[in-house]
Chains A and B, each alone.
Chain A
Amino acid sequence: MEKFTTFESSVAVLPVDNIDTDQIIPARFLKTISKAGLGDQLFFDWRYEADGSPKADFVLNNAQAKSAQVLLAGDNFGCGSSREHAPWALTQFGFKAVISTSFADIFKGNSLKNSLLPVIVPREMHAKLMEQLKSNPLAKVSVDLASQTLTLPDGSTCQFPVDAFSRTCMLEGVDELGFLLKHDIEIGAFEARAQGALNTLSVAL
């Protein structure tokens, strides 16, 4: 994993509450056995007409949004299916952070494991950012994970919460599996004292 560094970017605005992962990446694209090509399928049914032409009024089809590394969305972003294809598609498209008032649990966890930062801001801050982007759609925000600070176009700042462990992993570019693997002895000790263990191999199939 690459180290997550402070960056400045314009913002693509998608002011809809409860955007579910079926919208972020429709299920029919989940038949893949790799991670490749998912960025092209991001928000596919919101992005393209039935004939495959881009929908003119959808934010990601707007030239300046294409370079945005930050997505501003409504409450409870990423609800629904646990598919990790959602953060894979978002990062492949070019996003590094999503700003919302809240995120669905599984999506948040999946994103942190893929260097996609969920930035949780209070309602007033969310509204303020929407306002500023309305008057200047090209305005930039700055995202600093180390200090957990979001800076709005007008220079006002706000702190956002991030799980401390995930933050360290993202800043150092390490993944959780390596950390888990280091606890082999503790896991073995736990297994030795575990009661009534299930054995799925015990029944002839």
Chain B
Amino acid sequence: MSKPRTIIEKLWDSHVVCEPEGAPALLYIDLHLVHEVTSPQAFEGLRQRGLKVRRPDKTFGTCDHSTPTTPRSLPIVDPIAKAQVEQFEKNCKEFGIPHFGFQSKRQGIVHVIGPEYGLTQPGMTVVCGDSHTATHGAFGALAFGIGTSQVEHVLATQCLLQRKSRSFAVRVNGTLRPGVTAKDIILALIAKIGVGGGTECVLEYTGSAIRALSMEERMTVCNMSIEGGARAGLIAPDDTTYQFLHGRPFAPQGAAWDAAVARWKQLPTDEGAVYDHEVTIDADALEPMITFGTNPGMGIAISGAVPDPSALSDAVERDTLKKALAYMALEAGKPLAGHPVDVVFIGSCTNSRMSDLRAAASVLKGRKVNPKVRVMVVPGSQQIKREAEAEGLDRVFVEAGAEWREAGCSMCIAMNGDQLQPGQYSVSTSNRNFEGRQGKGGRTFLASPLTAAASAVTGTVTDPRKMLS
């Protein structure tokens, strides 16, 4: 019998084109997603070298990052963003790449539309010039973010020079309690291993609590793998995966579907396969999580207190925490619950799908948001926007006093007009609380859609379990 392999090794082995002596392996890429921000210099590079896109049929584009979330009848007011979106569409047309442009009825966040249209499939290698590409790992794909030079490499050759990553099993066992979500699993993991804990690794999320998650929830978990420093994060495919994919526009159809499922069933990790690292999380013990600091590893249970730098022995670690608390204007030892907030943002590739919007609406239905708080709800794609409107979720949000906007990255990245003012606090369902990430001087608490919605109602950081019906 051959040596038992992890899904990570299987994905790697099946995509190695060749291993030239003295160089990393050439890894073949099945799906390359491109967006407006990290691609222009790559297309320019192709032009300078007189190269074509090798496989436009394995490439797909959408605009999301600098794309405003104001009504599509309005022009893009920022001339620099406008030029970037226009250049993106021009590049896609010139190089023959299918894409959803600014006015497309199917435009959305790149990591939302890939799964939505069945572009993302088990067993694939997926790359994008964006660190949250691991989102697609939820389907049992090896999906990771790349820089612009590598975007150019893949456009030109459909390959990347890669060294094999180490494997890291994240076992989440047990059952999540009411009010505790997929977002809380991943925030708890990052708080545990730290923002560099997964460096050079691909994470495989396994265990009963992961198996019980829907595809959308699995995407939330995989999405933030990079925040633990990992190259990628993935979940082996199962019936939940196949049911989600079946019938989507780019998914295989008919006999090809059956053949694909048979192939995908070979992917899960073999019994007895060995990982380089392992960590276990007890789902039953998890509480809603929230971050207090300036990286996603600075997270605590919502009932907890802000940690004290003086308890740290390492000087640089202590100064780093001090600097974070100074930026956040928070006091060590105090609880975060009850802290006033100015803005609540529900959206981003982490939490902008139907189940996220339904969760937020379940809290906001029949309630009003605190009048001091600006609440923005931003669906991940135009498709999700339509679905949510068909279900009446938009009315729940608007009646509660929230804004219901067009699809895009919005206040996750604050390069599209949606941003915090200096000093403001947000509770945000996005994935990064770095200094200034949501606007210069803005301060971010990362949390789940339930926690965000509960905080919108009270105007302070609030444990959502108090509001569950």
Q: Which residues does A use to contact B, with CB under 8 Å? A: 15-18, 20, 22-23, 26-28, 30-35, 45, 50, 74-76, 79-84, 102, 104-106, 109-110, 113-114, 163-165, 168, 175-177, 179-181, 183-184, 186-187, 190-191, 194-203, 205
Q: Contacts of B49 on A, CB cut-off 8 Å?
A: 177
Q: Please, what's the 1-or-0 string for B136-157, where 1 marks a CB less than 8 Å from any CB in chain A?
A: 0000000001111110110011
Q: Mark B154-166, 1 if CB is under 8 A from A, else 0.
A: 0011110101000
Q: State whether the Cβ of B84 lies closer than 8 Å to any Cβ in chain A.
A: yes
Q: Contact check, A198 vs B24: say whether CB atoms are below 8 A apart.
A: no
Stretch at the interface among B25-33, B215-223, B268-276: B25-33
Contact across chains for A102 and B199 when beta carbons are under 8 A apart: yes
Is B303 in contact with chain A by the CB < 8 A criterion? no
A102: chain B residues at CB < 8 Å are: 196, 199
CA distance A17 to B314 in the complex (A): 11
Bound Cα distance from A35 to B196, whole angstroms: 28
Chain A contacts for B146, CB-based, 8 A: 82, 106, 109
| A198 x B435 contact (CB < 8 A) | no
A-B pair count, CB < 8 Å, reads 224
Tell me if A79 and B157 are in contact (CB < 8 A).
no
Residues of chain B contacted by A27 (CB below 8 angstroms): 65, 413-415, 437
Query: Which residues of B in the span 102-134 have a Cβ within 8 Å of any Cβ on A?
Result: 104, 106, 117, 119, 121, 124, 129-131
In the bound complex, what is the Cα–Cα distance between A45 and B442 (angstroms)?
Answer: 12
Most chain B CB neighbours (cut-off 10 Å) among A18, A32, A202: A18
The total of chain B residues at the interface (CB under 8 A) is 90
Contact (A18, B156) CB under 8 Å given A76-B199, A195-B263: no
- Give the CA-CA distance A80 to B440 in the complex, in Å: 17
The CA-CA distance from A167 to B108 in the complex, in Å, is 39
Alpha-carbon separation in the docked complex, A75 to B197 (Å): 12
- Contacts A31-B78, A196-B259 given: A82-B130 contact, CB under 8 Å? yes
Q: Which residues 393-416 of B have a CB within 8 angstroms of A?
A: 413-415
Residues of B within 8 A of A31 (CB): 37, 66, 78, 80-81, 83-84, 415
Query: How near does chain B come to A77, taking the closest CB pair, in angstroms?
Result: 10
Residues A18 and B295 in contact, CB atoms below 8 Å apart: yes
